Amino acid sequence: MKASATYNKTTLFISACCGLLLFGIALLTLGSVSQGLQQNFKLDKLKAGTLFAILPAGLLTGSLFFGPVCDRYGYKILLVSACLLLATGFTGIAYSPSTEWLQFSIFIFGLAGGIINGATNAVVADISGEYKGANLSLLGVSFGIGALGLPFVLGLLKQYYTYPIILSGAALIAFGVALFYVLIRFPAPKITQGQSLKKSLELLKDAVLLLIAFYLFCQSSLEAIVNNWTTTFLIERKNLSEGNALYALSACIAGVTIMRFLTGTIFRKITAKSILLLSFGLFFCGIVALQVTGSFITALSGLLILGAGIAGGFPIMLGLVGNRYAALSGTAFSLVLVIAITGNILVNYLMGIVAARYGIQHFITLLYAELVVMVLLFIFIFKKIQ
């Protein structure tokens, strides 16, 4: 216990940012190299789709796994292991000799990503005092940098190197982050040898935690359909070119990143409730702009605003979880993130059915529906907290 008290908060925050930057890179890797994978393994669209389904399964497993392990054994072993697994996943995707090995590598990749995402957020919540939401927003900026940076780097390097070489470089970065984690101190485990798991299981009966979990169910599914269906909507309904639609989607990620930076700095002392109310307003304006857009500029502006509107959900809600359940923050984070990723998978699948049967224009309908449900959950959450 004495040694664990000597950890440096600034170093830990930087280390968490490195981990989430890595997660941002990892999450966009599969989509960025999918064309190369389809050519190398002669995959049709159905088999390629199966690969994309394996990644969320790995993320779900990692999110379920990390919390109880962090609370019982601490962060260091788990984060070091996850970075090494991520390096293995990068290498496996680059050099798999068969489709089966590729599928296994993608699952390992997702598993490691789920652990890193959950554990880095949990450790920042643990070391933050009054401003957990603001610090988690700043942490989220590093994810945005990773997510925005990977397509740019791939575009820059692919004329000189094949994608396996580039992924090998990413594996080396993951290995370097693992080494960084080996060299620093982390907070002590929360569950001592004599404690039972009864307290952990009692979290499942907590109404506030479950309300937050289902808010994040909506938040995660919202982010999924925006990321996966916006370009199709803009191309098919608004007659934008594929290139312009992709640029507009990048503006959404930029909006998320900018808003999280502002929340962690200029808006740092604004209450969580006020930030979320602002977020709902921005999100509504972004949907309206998408709905009425007739030009690339309007779509770009609308998605920038929409991105700013969805930026606050995860940092603010995870900040509330960190404040309320500090004694078992890892397990509490695991619970809400598992439900969030489940929402990501289920609602994204639902959107596919809706688009196929009723048309892609109902992408807007689903965005409005998500907003209404999130506002209702927001009201219930803050009523219960007060």
- What token pair was written down for 165? 């070489």
Q: What is the pLDDT of residue 45?
A: 58
Q: What is the pLDDT of residue 48?
A: 65
Q: What is the pLDDT of residue 160?
A: 77
Q: How many CA atoms lie within 13 A of 92 on its CB side?
A: 19
Q: What is the pLDDT of residue 294?
A: 79
Q: What is the pLDDT of residue 4?
A: 44
Q: For residue 147, give the nearest of 253, 301, 16 by alpha carbon.
A: 253
Q: How far apart are CA 228 and CA 114, in angstroms?
A: 19
**Burial (0-12, 13-18, 19+ Cβ within 10 Å), 226:** buried
Q: What is the pLDDT of residue 166?
A: 81
Q: How far apart are CA 240 and CA 295, in angstroms?
A: 8
**Burial (0-12, 13-18, 19+ Cβ within 10 Å), 196:** exposed
Q: What is the dihedral angle through the alpha carbons of 94, 96, 102, 107, rounded to the nearest 10 degrees?
A: -70
pLDDT tens for residues 37-50? 777 777 765 666 67
Is the CB of residue 377 less than 8 Å from the CB of residue 215?
yes
Residues 6+ apart with CB under 8 A from 223: 310, 344
**Residue-wise pLDDT tens for the chain (386 aa)?**
334 457 789 999 999 999 999 888 887 776 667 667 777 777 765 666 677 678 888 899 999 888 888 888 889 999 999 999 999 988 988 888 888 888 898 899 889 999 999 999 999 988 887 788 889 998 989 988 887 776 677 767 777 777 788 888 889 999 999 999 999 999 888 766 445 456 666 777 888 999 999 999 999 999 888 887 888 888 888 888 877 887 888 888 889 999 999 999 998 889 999 999 999 999 999 999 989 887 889 989 999 999 999 999 999 999 999 888 887 878 888 899 999 999 888 888 888 888 888 888 889 999 999 999 999 999 999 998 87
Q: What is the pTM of this model?
A: 0.85
Alpha-helical (H) ranges within 74-162 are 76-95, 99-127, 132-157
Q: What is the pLDDT of residue 155?
A: 67
Sign of the dihedral defined by the CA atoms of residues 317, 273, 283, 303, in that order? negative
Whole-number Cα distances in Å, 151 to 54, 166, 377: 21, 12, 35
Q: How far apart are CA 370 and CA 116, in angstroms?
A: 27
Is the CB of residue 241 less than 8 Å from the CB of residue 227?
no
Residues 6+ apart with CB under 8 A from 145: 21, 24, 257
Q: For residue 321, give the nearest of 286, 275, 272, 280 by alpha carbon.
A: 272
| Residue in the block written with tokens 């993320």 | 59
pLDDT tens for residues 111-141? 999 999 999 999 998 888 778 888 999 898 9
